[in-house]
Amino acid sequence: MKAGDQVVGTTAPVALRDAEAFIFDMDGVLYRGKQPLPGVNEMIDAIEARGRKYLFATNNSMATPAEYVRRMAGYGVTVDASHIQTSGTATRDFLLGELPEGAKLLVVGMPALGAQLQMDTTFVLSDDPEDDIAAVVAGLDQRFSYDTLARALTAIRQGARFIATNTDATLPVENGVLPGAGSIIAAIATASGSQPTVVGKPETLMMEAGVAQLGSQASRTVMIGDRLDTDILAAQRAGLATALVLTGVTTREDLVNSDIVPDYVFTDLPAMLRELVGSG
């Protein structure tokens, strides 16, 4: 590794200039809380100018791709919904290959999760655990209650599959953190005695769905994230190259004691852009 504006791993599977596609985590990479981070438009312009593909990917399932389009527009970034992947859309894509048409889902999550699961599918949402539920799909539910827990428990014990959008323990907010989807998943797992299939980071299903959506090779796709234990770990498990930016959760000090070592480390997106442009 070398010090300075960027730290570059010596065994990176692909040079930035040779990458076919890029997957960007969102919170901590494109914005932090409600504040946009620098270099997003310039990075997109550079990627498109080189004929490369990109995807914005988030573990959050509480907003639809269309809602993220509007949010990014508020930051002055124009992006199409086809360039946005959430743990909700990744879960939908996973279930399309696992469940029959018209399968009934019991959703534990915010309304946007149900909307994403039904987007371009024939899935039917049901709140009745006795309604031949094929899968309980759980994400972060800010209205979570004992009744919700009981319905999920009943459906799972009657044979429904247990699917989690992600297991993030906390949700970063402007003034600290709040309980994340992992707290909801843990409650359902404890009550039902069943462990879920997890789609989001740090598991690989979301990364694999992203690579498939991009039509790229995993080894020539770069994941850019701000967390070692989710973004970087998930990408490494899925065979992607990895770039950590220090604008979110992980600090340089965290890298010292971590067994998770990214291929590249950059101060921020502008630093990564300088490496990308300088390499080409």
- Residues recognised as catalytic: 25, 27
User: In whole angstroms, what is the distance from residue 101 CA to residue 158 CA?
Assistant: 20
CB 245 within 8 A of CB 224: yes
| 249-268 burial: b if 16+ Cβ within 10 Å, else e | bbeeeebeeeebebbbbbbb
Number of neighbouring beta carbons within 10 Å of residue 119:
15
- β-bridge mates for residue 244, sequence order: 225, 265
Helix (H, G, I), strand (E, B) or coil at 238: coil
CB 13 within 8 A of CB 263: yes
User: In whole angstroms, what is the distance from residue 129 CA to residue 188 CA?
Assistant: 14
Number of neighbouring beta carbons within 10 Å of residue 246:
18
For β-strands 170-173 and 176-179, DSSP reports them as: antiparallel
